Amino acid sequence: MRPTSVILTDFDYLVPKTLEEALKEKRERKGSYILAGGTDLIPKMRGQVVKPVFLIDISGLKELDYVKEQEGRIRIGAATKISRIIDSKAKIGILQEACKKLGNPLTRNKATIGGNLCNASPAADTATPLMVLGAELVLRRLDGERMVPIEEFFVGPGRTVLKDDEILTEIRITPPEDGVKTKFLKVGLRKADAISVVNCAIALKAQNNVIMEAKIALGSVAPTPVLAKEARKVLIGNKLNEDLIEKCAQVAAKEVKPISDVRGSARYRELLVEGCVKKVLRELME
Amino acid sequence: MMKKYPLEFRVNGKKFSVEVRPNVTLLRLLRSLGFTEVKSGCEKGDCGTCAVLMDGEPVNSCLTLALQAQGKEITTVRGLGTMENLHPIQEAFVKHGAIQCGFCTPGMVITAKAFLDKNPNPTREEIREAISGNLCRCTGYQKIVDAIEAAAKKMRGAR
């Protein structure tokens, strides 16, 4: 449906004062949606892609707005704004690199990390860095919680494992150990205000130039952000040199399943994957 | 009929108590209250002409529900300076020809204000990055960057 400037859907607006209240509403109200930053949800409501019966506004919940280090892990509240993550002093360089490329400076003041993940766009810029960092997501419900590794969170475009009575509350990251190098690369159709045509996050650990551990995550090339497992195998136990980079990039391009859309054709995306993986690996080799 | 909810907030220092439906965006409410200096452009967060300061932070008012402004202080471009008493950024925009059709100007000035509060001595590259969420289809941005650079210099001098 064509977006209208007025939101046509008729809904009730709820502002829980605590997380517990929010969880209670989420369980009891059928057809409820969580409003955090609104940068994605509000345009979707205008286009009637999303028609909430109840809107539960958690944008003001201080309980979900933090970046802190605890017992050696970094914890990020799901309603923490992207601009706040950029300004944070926590050791999450690759996530911050990606956050600086997300949307534009104005939307970054509203958009939240939890929203970016729950929208489950295959192009979500925070997903791939979190995948190479091995992040875990805390899904809370009124009577408990479960932890889900980020690579198991996404099910398809716009779909996650979140159940109706659950809210994503926290992202937990173990900071990369010493010697791990990470890098993020986004290809958009312009410098800012762009949705990824392809994005790529890589983490590498090498000893005497031999790769001990590696993770390659790719966005906007499959129904969900994906880990390139075959390309990873090419790297492990081998010396990082130009030949290996070439081979790894070709394998990565073969294992993705992109579609053609307004931002680029499937074939263009495969070529971009090859180019991005090469570029990032070369930069990490230096 | 959709329920109305009470909302109290301030715009440019003035207090408002209104009743609004939850589907009304802050942009639409501000314009209906007479703050038509807040422009409606793409209404999806791409163009930035609807930018206002919400407790000092620049945001797209088109992506904010009016009810999310509960208890907040909103500043529009008119809250920064008036025709008689221009803000240094507004003055610089006029002086450097950074305004052509003028449609992006309210958002540009708001974004520039919040940016210079954080970074009073920016490079041209940093200015470009800061206004990358505000689209201008007339100026090619050069004169806007010139204006923000000049305003920064003047504001540093005033400190």
Helix (H, G, I), strand (E, B) or coil at A179: coil
pLDDT confidence tier of residue A221, bands split at 50, 70 and 90:
very high
Boundary-marking domain end, from A133, A149, A173: A173
Could you tell me the CATH number of the domain that includes residue A19?
3.30.43.10
Is residue A4 pLDDT above 80, yes or no? no
Question: What domains lie within chain B, and their CATH numbers?
Answer: 5-79 (3.10.20.30), 81-158 (1.10.150.120)
What DSSP assignment string belongs to A116-153? HHHTT-TT-TTHHHHHHTT-EEEEEETTEEEEEEGGGT
Q: What pLDDT is recorded for position B159?
A: 67
Contact A83, A60 (CB under 8 A): no
Same domain, A258 and A272: yes
Kindly state whether residue A131 falls inside one of the protein's structural domains: yes
Same domain, A141 and A201: no
Kindly state whether residue A185 falls inside one of the protein's structural domains: yes
User: In chain A, what are the helix, strand and coil shares in percent, each to the nearest 5?
Assistant: 35, 30, 40
Is residue A19 pLDDT above 90, yes or no? yes
Query: Who's near A261: CB < 8 A, 6+ residues apart?
Result: none
Same domain, A151 and A94: yes
pLDDT less than 70: residues of chain B = 1, 159
Same domain, A27 and A81: no
Kindly state whether residue A39 falls inside one of the protein's structural domains: yes
From A52's Cα to the closest Cα of chain B, the distance in A is 11
Query: Who's near B1: CB < 8 A, 6+ residues apart?
Result: none
Same domain, A50 and A70: no
Q: What pLDDT is recorded for position B142?
A: 97
Interstrand relation of A73-77 and A167-173 (parallel, antiparallel or unpaired): antiparallel
Q: What pLDDT is recorded for position A262?
A: 92
Over residues A69-85, the mean pLDDT reads 96
Kindly state whether residue A7 falls inside one of the protein's structural domains: no
Q: What pLDDT is recorded for position B1?
A: 60
Boundary-marking domain end, from A134, A157, A173: A173
Query: Who's near A242: CB < 8 A, 6+ residues apart?
Result: none
d(CA B81, CA B89): 9
Kindly state whether residue A29 falls inside one of the protein's structural domains: yes
Over residues A255-271, the mean pLDDT reads 95
Contact B63 A9 (CB under 8 A): no
Over residues A261-272, the mean pLDDT reads 95
Residue in chain A closest to B3 (alpha carbons) equals A12
Over residues A123-137, the mean pLDDT reads 97
pLDDT confidence tier of residue A1, bands split at 50, 70 and 90:
low
Kindly state whether residue A102 falls inside one of the protein's structural domains: yes
Same domain, A167 and A224: no
Is residue A34 pLDDT above 90, yes or no? yes
Same domain, A227 and A142: no
Higher-scoring residue by pLDDT: A80, A286: A80
Q: What pLDDT is recorded for position A75?
A: 97
Could you tell me the CATH number of the domain that includes residue A266?
3.30.390.50
Contact A193 B130 (CB under 8 A): no
Over residues A208-230, the mean pLDDT reads 96
Among A44, A104, A107, A116, most B C-beta atoms within 10 A, so best to mutate, is A104
What DSSP assignment string belongs to A64-100? G--EEEETTEEEEETT-BHHHHHH--SS-HHHHHHHH
Kindly state whether residue A5 falls inside one of the protein's structural domains: no
Residue-averaged pLDDT of chain A: 95
pLDDT in tens, A163-207: 999 999 999 999 998 899 999 999 999 888 889 999 999 999 999
How many structural domains are present in chain A? 3
Same domain, A31 and A47: yes
Counting one residue from chain A and one from chain B, the pairs whose CB atoms sit within 8 A come to 97
Over residues A22-48, the mean pLDDT reads 96
Kindly state whether residue A246 falls inside one of the protein's structural domains: yes
Residue in chain A closest to B69 (alpha carbons) equals A60
Q: Which among B22, B58, B67 is the nearest to A106, CB-wise? A: B58
Predicted structure pTM score = 0.95
Same domain, A210 and A231: yes
Same domain, A222 and A153: no
d(CA A25, CA A49): 22
Same domain, A155 and A101: yes
Could you tell me the CATH number of the domain that includes residue A163?
3.30.465.10
Contact A110 B40 (CB under 8 A): no
Same domain, A163 and A210: no
Contact B68 A107 (CB under 8 A): no
- Domain range for residue A23? 12-57
d(CA A137, CA B154): 47
